[in-house]
Amino acid sequence: METLTINNVWMMICTALVFFMHLGFALLEIGLTRQKNTLNILFKNIFIITIGLLLYYIVGFNLMYPGFTEDSTGILGFAGFGLEAPLASGTLDLTYNNGYTYWTDFLFQGMFAATAATIVSGAVAERIKIAPFMIFTLVYVGIVYPIAGSWKWGGGFLQTLETPFYDFAGSTLVHSVGGWAALVAVCLLGARIGKFKNGTIQAIPGHNIPLATAGVLILWLGWFGFNGGSVLSADPTLTSITLVTTCLAAASGGVICAIVSFAKFKNLDLTMFLNGILGGLVSITAGADVMSPGDAIIIGAIGGAIIVFAVSLIDRLKLDDPVGAIAVHLICGIWGTLSVGIFGSLASVNQFISQLIGIAAYALICIVTSFIILFTLKKTMGLRVSEKEELEGLDIHEHGMDAYPNFRLNEH
């Protein structure tokens, strides 16, 4: 009973830390965008976490983990509606997984579920209509994410490969799943007005970099729960090394990103520094429990360098991602997943091939499903706000109020 209590308490603490990450995402997004769209971004982030938990209760958990009962062999292995569905056979012990309860597992995994849509929110900020974004969130978080997650974490085909695909805490299953959808959404939406003029890239500065900095530090703190909780127990050795590798990768990602950015652009760009930290965190997430501290520093450093070149590439392709979500979550997510086959205790040719198979599988389902959802919404109700609404701000036109009613800049 003592082990059960310790493990369960640790998992609940990690759940709270992952929940706290949603504040970090919100602050980062509003900080890197213009103040006239602040309320719109905050509304989307609050909607994502609230509806995400409800959807995960109704259908998501049972799609993602259908193997809890012997009779869950229906279409897609679906175990039924509602959180109690896996309990229907009466065979489920509440201490079913390393000594923590079924209810704790639901809440921990539910906090992950909404993150995929949060990643998309940042990439499409400042020009997407609120209604189609909400509909996209309902379908992507409610159905696509849990089905994709079941392929690995739910015991699906990627877990049953001869050398199983490995993704400890979600470099692919969470970050790339959101990143692929963000890429599709940005392509279908187009760039913000003024981002590209006469073939040249125009910077559109965020309105509150201190808030963005606070958001990144909150996210780093939240990653203690994101990766630490993915140990799925309070095992002192595994949790300790996981938190060490997580922090070292974040630190090296930030430092190397800042150095490479300075060498390339000849300025000390704080936003690059911040995204370098996130790139390091995303990169280590796939293999945080199987890497040495030295491996983690190398993986994070490469992730940080990737950020600089990925952001430049995305700009050259005339894709407008206000917060760097595609570079951080998609490209570093791919790198982090591949790194499991290159570094650490699992490194081998077979593991690398399995990692490639997993990346390809998730790319396929995410690109196809997000394109179908978003293209359908674009053709039926439209994705993008009008030019007038975009120039004057989504806060006034979508919400009828201002985030800063006594301080409004003349932004265009």
Beta carbons of 96 and 102 less than 8 angstroms apart: yes
Q: What is residue 66's three-state secondary structure?
A: helix
pLDDT in tens, 266-280: 999 999 999 999 999
Q: Which domain holds residue 72?
A: 2-399
- Any domain includes 169: yes
Q: How confident is the model at residue 1 (pLDDT cuts 50, 70, 90)?
A: low
Instruction: Report CA Rg, the chain.
Output: 21
CA 381 to chain centre: 26
Q: What distance in Å separates the CA atoms of residue 25 and residue 212, rounded to the nearest whole number? A: 9
Q: For the chain, what is the domain count?
A: 1
- Any domain includes 409: no
Predicted confidence (pLDDT) at residue 133 exceeds the cutoff of 80: yes
- Any domain includes 410: no
Which residues are CB-contacts of 172 (< 8 A; sequence separation ≥ 6)? 286, 333, 334, 337, 358, 359, 362
The percentage of the chain sitting over the pLDDT mark of 90, rounded to a whole number, equals 80
Predicted confidence (pLDDT) at residue 306 exceeds the cutoff of 60: yes
What pLDDT, on the 0 to 100 scale, is given for residue 272? 97
Q: What distance in Å separates the CA atoms of residue 325 and residue 25, rounded to the nearest whole number? A: 11
| Mean pLDDT (the chain, rounded) | 91
- Any domain includes 407: no
Q: How confident is the model at residue 82 (pLDDT cuts 50, 70, 90)?
A: confident
Q: For tokens 């990143």, name the residue.
A: 179
- Any domain includes 406: no
Average pLDDT (60-81) is 66
Q: For tokens 């990692």, name the residue.
A: 355
Average pLDDT (330-335) is 98
- Any domain includes 404: no
CATH code of the domain in which 384 resides: 1.10.3430.10
pLDDT in tens, 40-59: 999 999 999 999 999 999 98
- Any domain includes 329: yes
Query: Please, where are the H alpha helices in 32-139?
Result: 38-55, 61-64, 102-113, 115-123, 130-139
Q: How confident is the model at residue 407 (pLDDT cuts 50, 70, 90)?
A: low
What pLDDT, on the 0 to 100 scale, is given for residue 81? 76
- Any domain includes 14: yes
What pLDDT, on the 0 to 100 scale, is given for residue 116? 84
Least confident span in 29-33, 66-70, 317-321, 330-334: 66-70
Comparing 101 with 171, which gets the higher pLDDT? 171
pLDDT in tens, 175-234: 999 999 999 999 999 999 999 988 799 999 999 999 999 999 999 999 999 999 999 999
Give the amino acid at 371.
Answer: F
- Interior/surface letters 31-63, b for 16+ CB within 10 angstroms, e for the rest: bbbbbbbbbbbbbbbebbbebbbebbbebbbbb
What pLDDT, on the 0 to 100 scale, is given for residue 199? 79
